[in-house]
Structure 1
Amino acid sequence: MVKGKARNKDIIGFLIGLGILILINVISGFLYLRLDLTSENRYSLSEPTEELLKGLEDQVYVTVYLEGNFPASFKRLRNETKEMLDEFANTSGGNLQFDFVNPSESPDMKERDRVYRNLYEKGLRPTDLEIKDEDGVSKKIVWPGAIVSYAGNESAVQLLKSQFGAPPEVVLNQSIESLEYELAAAIKRITDPAKKKIAFIEGHGELNKFETADAVRSLREFHEVERVLINGDIRALAKRSFIDSSNARVVNKYDLIIIADPDSAFDEKDKFIIDQFVMYGGKVMWMIDPVDASMDSLRTKNTMLAVPRDLNLGDQHFQYGVRFNQDLVQDLRAAPIPIVSGQYGTQVKTQLYPWLFFPLLISKNNHPINKNIDVVRAQFASSIDLVGNDELKKTVVLSSSEKS
């Protein structure tokens, strides 16, 4: 009798547990929840992306062309894209919808060609796959991309990012890591048609238009880009209209200025104009090399000379809470370079050794700039100290290792 009661109790407990599992499964079909248990929140949306999605005023529709019979790698890209779009849709409060479409589903070759041509004209590019099966090897055209639509405007997103010489697995991983950025950038592009203005500063030995051509090409996809010579002109970065004899209305011409690798000193007037630009809400990207060092001199001799640069910016940077030190970082975690280690007959023998002056910088995954980014190789990098005003917000996005 006692055994019978215990058995009935076990059966009831089993049925209750089974019912709870079924209930959770039913609820999960209606609610989307994605937990990010990584310490650096690798799988959480960044704050700017959340703000973008929560601020949508109308429906955004995303059509993804990753449906069909794919190899495992493309299935992984498809699943990761779906999870990301689920997160987008959940954050948008219902203002983002998506669908997965197979562009090759039509048995009619003319219809497939029409669909392919339409996708190509919209900006997507196909990928040719070789699929091995029992009958041998067959080729298949895949369109690893999406079209984002909003208020009659469309933007193409290439989900599989090509990289010359990189193994397929590396390309796939990098494509998955950049999903959030690529999709958010496309949404931003069509929901906010007003382009912000960027200016590359000239006049202090900065990088010329040929050295910045690739960066400018990428920036012009989302921004208006110009080159500006300050040359002591207070109107170079801002428009001034006088309200009366003692008051003027100041409006910055640009949202951001980039000072890329200057090699000569800034005079006080140019520093004042830049500081005024900052005071009226402008942003500055300082790309500074405090020390001039190059591998070129090592091609002909065993020594090199590193020369400090006098840019006359130390006092201004201190006010902004940073100090660029005139030194060179040495790190045991460094990129290798080929070194002649001997001779084999008439052949020179070389081996790869870590070059301490090429540190591999580590991302802390604490900002949209460095989220999901791999190590970055620096060449003759100088250290930076955070100093001065403690009220300023300072975020370190890349750093050398503890062995530096």
Structure 2
Amino acid sequence: MTFFNDTSLLPIVYELLHNLALLYTFISLFMPMITKGCLEYNPLKIHTKGVLFFSILALVSMLMPIRFTQIPDAAIDLRIAIIILTSSYLGPLNAFCVGVATIVFRILLGGLGWIPWVPAALLSGPVAFAVIKRVNKRPGGMIMASITCTAVSMTILAVASHNLDVFSYFSPAVHPDNFIKIFFALAICNSMAAVAYDRAIKSILIRQQNYHELRLKADTDGMTGLYNHNRFQYEIGQAINSAQKSKSPLCLLMLDLDYFKEYNDNLGHQAGDALLKEAAKIFLESIRPKDIAARYGGEEFAIILPDCSEYEAVKISERIREKFEQNPFYGREKMPKRKVTISIGIACYLGDSTDKNTLIQKADAALYSAKRTGRNKSVVYSPYRNVCFMAKS
């Protein structure tokens, strides 16, 4: 099996398949670890982990060159395919960064004679991005980008070959046959690599997305969209550990809808479900972005307030309570005092040895005090003599 009559194709195919297999394994093993399965395209932002991943991938490809038995000085690698993949997934800016990394790696591995690779490396990302965007179909776009970037790279190196002896073996003026063979081999190998790695990366991203969706379903309450009880237990444990390490305050709200059973009995379970959904919406509108709301069970909810003082927790609690009191819920005229209200218990972690169960018990005690003393109020658990007192924002 020959390539242009005198170059054996079998060794090239063998080394290409060997490289594809090794790099495919590298992608499968390390991409989820480095990028966490996330490659976010943003034309104006450097994706640090993505650039790191593709730069390492380019380095690995350079360490495994594909050699020509009939052209002793010639060797090709798949770095162009890596730059094309970066451009496709992360945009031209990140591809430019990976191109810079390939310049550094190439010079470290091959010496300053590889300076002519600089313009090719920097141009490949934007050129690939433009081609893929124009073709807009895979794998056609990846193949066209590979051929175009190979042509750009070979043209630049061909010009450099007139002045640099290191590239004389494929100078189109001195060795036109070598130039054509290397060009076609490089275009075919990079096209195959770009398509194969593209499929590998897409497969990983799909699996990560499926896992994320399954995890989200497992952690989310189907009725309200908030975290469920199991995820709450995990989050409160993490929040306490974080507060212990950073020596920052942490507060917990336990919330219970007042007279929810009567609301269900009077208006039906569908109305009760709608009320729970509306309650979740009010919670999310009232808390800070870093706070965590969960459905604890039934009509009872919990909100974790990391890095939050007791004073700020009272303000958030009262904001929620007032929104409930003032909200024109459906059927509120049939409720006591003609409105739907909520009772809230507040407990704070103060840097002591409190574990999550103790903190939950304290918030529950404060909530019980709020229910027992008339409802529709926020009550704070006091660490002094284990008493509770009504909060005022």
Shared fold per TM-score greater than 0.5? no
Q: If each structure's helix is expressed as a fraction of its own residues, which one has the higher value? A: 2
Relative contact order (C-alpha < 8 Å, sep 6+): which is higher?
Answer: 2
- Which one has the largest radius of gyration? 2
Give TM-score scaled by structure 1 length.
0.22
Taking structure 2 as the reference length, what is the TM-score of the superposition? Answer: 0.22
